[in-house]
Amino acid sequence: MRRYTVVQVDAFTTTPLRGNPCAVLPDARGLSDAEMQAIAREMNLSETAFVFPSAQRKADFRFRYFTPATEIPLAGHPTISTAHVLVEEGRVKLADGKATFMMELNVGVLPVEITGREGNVTRVVMTQKKPEFGRTFEHSEVAPVFGLSVGDLDARFPPQVVSTGTPQLMILVKSLDVLKRIRADAHALEELCRRGEFFSAHLFCLGGLAPNADTHARHYAPEAGIAEDPFTGSASGGMGAYIVHHGILSGPRFHIEQGHLCGRPGEGDVEVIGPRENIQTVKVGGPAVTVMRGELIL
């Protein structure tokens, strides 16, 4: 029998049972692709993270992320969760309350920055890839998929596919009330994802429940086996890039909310680096908390 440590972490929160849960296997050596996919189905969370040694000299670890249905190239809350676990496991050491390491993902090698206090992680920040701005959609193509009217979407800005490693459709709606009224049609969204060649959809408004919130969002990825994702770090990066690119807010930093409307409130921060016409990268950060430790026996 093979035994693997599994740690479940709630990301983008400091309170257990909030934010976005992720299962992390801090030493996944020996697992095949098929086994990792089967484990992700078993965990039944939006993502499960697997840590391997990296074959690249410039990377410290290799991370792979699986939803219950497929592997994805870049994700936010698994990165926050995995970095948190690696510090707890003693595999990343804080020096003067800080640490930086390089992670190898399927999209390349990117830095992760950690801050902490008394040996405990207080914040993890991931750098995402230079944003790519893709196809735009008519409001009339998008609104019915979510049970909304064209008038519920902000007519000034087109729904657009943005990728900082994972292509996702950004949709700006007029208010928090509109987000509350979303009733996503999973089959229609799957078809839109296939036709538009993007992974998932991120709907957001300006402002939020807290006075300091710049945005509030909801996220849907039906092809990945995710009805609604509580807090989506990769899409938060794409959202920040979209906001700056279209001049919606000047930035460069935003405080963001997600998950409150599906019972798992989370908060984080986005920093967009570079001018709106040539954004260089996006950073997404937040806290995490460990809620469960166990052993997987295969």
250 and 193 belong to one structural domain:
yes
Helix (H) or strand (E) holding 285: strand 281-286
Nearest to 203 by CA among 223, 218, 190, 184: 218
93 and 138 belong to one structural domain:
no
137 and 260 belong to one structural domain:
yes
What CA–CA distance (Å, rounded) separates 235 from 238?
Answer: 5
- Asked whether the predicted pLDDT for residue 223 surpasses 90, the reply is no
- Asked whether the predicted pLDDT for residue 248 surpasses 90, the reply is yes
- Asked whether the predicted pLDDT for residue 226 surpasses 90, the reply is no
Exposure of 73 by Cβ count < 10 A (0-12 exposed, 13-18 middle, 19+ buried)?
Answer: middle
139 and 247 belong to one structural domain:
yes
Of the listed 47, 228, 257, 267, which one is catalytic? 47
Exposure of 112 by Cβ count < 10 A (0-12 exposed, 13-18 middle, 19+ buried)?
Answer: buried
- Asked whether the predicted pLDDT for residue 225 surpasses 90, the reply is no
- The 3-state DSSP class for residue 46 equals coil
120 and 160 belong to one structural domain:
no
CATH code: domain of residue 195: 3.10.310.10
157 and 255 belong to one structural domain:
yes
141 and 271 belong to one structural domain:
yes
Which runs of consecutive H residues, i.e. helices, occur in 197-296? 233-245
What are residue 275's phi and psi, to 5 degrees?
Answer: -70, 160
42 and 136 belong to one structural domain:
no
What CA–CA distance (Å, rounded) separates 65 from 73?
Answer: 7
120 and 151 belong to one structural domain:
no
CB 190 within 8 A of CB 222: yes
- The 3-state DSSP class for residue 73 equals coil
State residue 227's pLDDT score: 87
| Number of domains forming the structure of the chain | 2
Question: In terms of residue numbers, what domain contains 175?
Answer: 132-279
Residue 95 DSSP label? B
Residues 118-169: pLDDT tens digits? 889 999 999 999 999 999 999 999 999 999 999 999 999 999 999 999 999 9
Residues 82-92: pLDDT tens digits? 999 999 999 99
114 and 175 belong to one structural domain:
no
Residues 168-207: pLDDT tens digits? 999 999 999 999 999 999 999 999 999 999 999 999 999 9
190 in active site = no
62 and 113 belong to one structural domain:
yes
Nearest to 267 by CA among 10, 20, 12, 46: 12
What's this model's pTM, rounded to 2 decimal places? 0.97
